[in-house]
Chains A and B, each alone.
Chain A
Amino acid sequence: MGEEIPAGRIAELEATAREIRRDIIRMTAAAGSGQPGGSLSVTDLLTALLFEELRIDPKNPDAPDRDRLVLSKGHAAPALYAALSHRGYLPPEELLTLRQFGSRLQGFVDRRHLPFVEASTGGLGQGIGMAVGMALDARLAGRSSRIYAVIGDGECQAGPTWEALMAGGHFRLSNLVVLLDRNGLETEGSTESILGIEPITDKFRAFRYHTLEIDGHDFRQILGALAEARRTTDVPTAIVARTVKGKGVSFMEGKSAWHGKAPSRAEAEQALRELESPSGGSPR
């Protein structure tokens, strides 16, 4: 579906994502708390956005026409912080201050103290509403900015998520792209065993979105879907990205226990060893 992306560029993005995953492990281990599972699942989506898709400039972070990313699943803050550091928005040494007193790197992202972060998020179902407001604002102001909202699948159980999505569809916000990190797991188990959200793609379609289903760890598919969203000029786009919670670390993959638990020092060392090789923890 997408434009041709050189294999070398894909390899670069994969390498960047691997470094971000390593940082997520280091950061949450140092903090002793945090959400590694949902950070590792969303890493490839964030990497594609920050290093390829978004029209942004770390040297001019407030440019009015910049694209905007809202991390509505604010608990993936470690992934965003790590990506921001690799993208030149944060000094790398600051990453290990995650969740510490006085740090800019709050447990959930804080707009008021960080560049690039457009919206402070944490309570689920709120960032998506702010993103819809931003998309309306950009259209009303005649700005070419595009707005990208990254939501979680547990978040799809929250009513206001659907209120916001309904508004995005109603107002035909074609400058809005919603990316769902569909890792299938929330804090206490699988979404389908707790409160099922399927058929999720049908739901987005019923809410008047152009929908795409992709493998959220395959950069060709991610970038192809984002390109298709750009070509969709009459309605917003929802990308359902199938992902693996804890992606890249064998003992975290597919385990909801790693939603909100930091690795011990030994676990972190093992995770970092697994994340040294390009193949990661387990084959795709």
Chain B
Amino acid sequence: MSAPGKRESLREAYGKVLVELGERDPNLVVFDSDLSGSTRTILFGQKFPDRFFNVGVMESTMMTMAAGMSLSGRTVFASSFAIFAAGQSYNYVRQSICYNHANVKIVATHGGLLVGADGATHQIVEDIGLMRGLPGMTVIVPADAPTTRTAVRAVAERPGPAYVRLTPEDLPVVTDGRFTIGKANELRGGSDLTFVAVGSMVARALEVAEELGQVGVSVRVLDLASVKPFDEPALLRAARDTGAILVLEEHSVLTGVGALVASTTAENYPVPVRRVGVPDLFGESGEPWALLDRYGMSKERVREEAWELLRARGKVQ
């Protein structure tokens, strides 16, 4: 697909898939920490009140309880905002879920700057880095509602811990929902340059790729929704085929997908890599999409970085 389609809520997609999973698996349970209206786990709670536990404002202990609940064979989902699910709860996720290899699926809504008006305390741009550093953790960052649906089903089926990062903002539909854990999704073919993008930045990557296509620059776009495990062969193929990579993520460039792409290519097939993402800064209150522009992820910035890479490759003057 190329032109981004209608906007859809990833959270709503998640909530509805939870209900579907709950119908299929009578042992599946869901935890939330007083945010079920926002995370949309309330849809599951309304349908299956006996298997839904709202534990109040205690995200860390929600994680340890979810771990204990899972160890005799259940699939357990636990949701909160990303700042609480990954930030507040880090060592609880690390020990009780990952070290115990507990079958807990953390679906964190409200990752990134698109949280908007709440400001820096609630805008976590470090969670992908925190979670992908944990041994045994699967990390998924869907770009739209169709991928969210497929990804939530996929992590439910895969034994062990998982972290799925969603955004509060409705996002344009940019995929047909095809998703396999460990596989990159090539949304657009190209030979001059590759955009590797996750989450909210995938649509932006496709828009700029389209513009560049109109002036004769062929850009490949990889949706790296499966951040861990990630598709190293597809990444290195892109490095070989196009010779330069621009990473786009609504996350700190210090520890996110940009860091992953840069280190992987540096070790295996060094090519110029540039990162579009949040610099080493806290966010602030503001209109969500304006914040993305203000914090270094504007379309103009993507274009500039793309031309910079094309110049470095000697593909333009």
Contacts and interface: CB of A to CB of B under 8 A. Distances in A.
Interface of A: 64, 70, 110-112, 118-123, 125-138, 140-141, 160, 163-164, 166-167
Nearest to A159: B60
B68 A112 contact: no
Interface string B21-61: 00000010100000000000000000000110101001011
Interface residues of B, number: 27
A163 B60 contact: yes
A64 B72 contact: yes
A136 B72 CA distance: 11
Contacts of B51: 140
B194 interface: no
Given A120-B95, A140-B51, A160 B61 contact: yes
Interface stretch (B96-104, B112-120, B149-157, B169-177): B96-104
A257 to B, nearest CB: 27
Given A119-B100, A123-B95, A160-B92, A130 B67 contact: yes
Contacts of B259: none
B184 interface: no
Contacts of B72: 64, 134, 137-138, 141
A167 B95 contact: no
B58 A130 contact: no
Given A140-B50, A163-B61, 12 more contacts: A111-B71, A111-B100, A119-B96, A120-B100, A121-B95, A127-B64, A130-B71, A137-B69, A140-B29, A160-B60, A160-B61, A160-B64
Main DSSP-derived SS at the B contact region: helix
Contacts, number: 97
A166 B91 CA distance: 20
A137 B68 contact: yes
B74 interface: yes
A132 B91 contact: no
B75 to A, nearest CB: 12
A70 B72 CA distance: 14
Contacts of A70: 68
A64 B71 CA distance: 11
B278 interface: no
A130 B68 contact: yes
A218 B66 CA distance: 35
Contact of A126 (B29, B70, B95, B101): B95
B49 to A, nearest CB: 12
B69 to A, nearest CB: 4
Contact of B58 (A110, A141, A160): A160
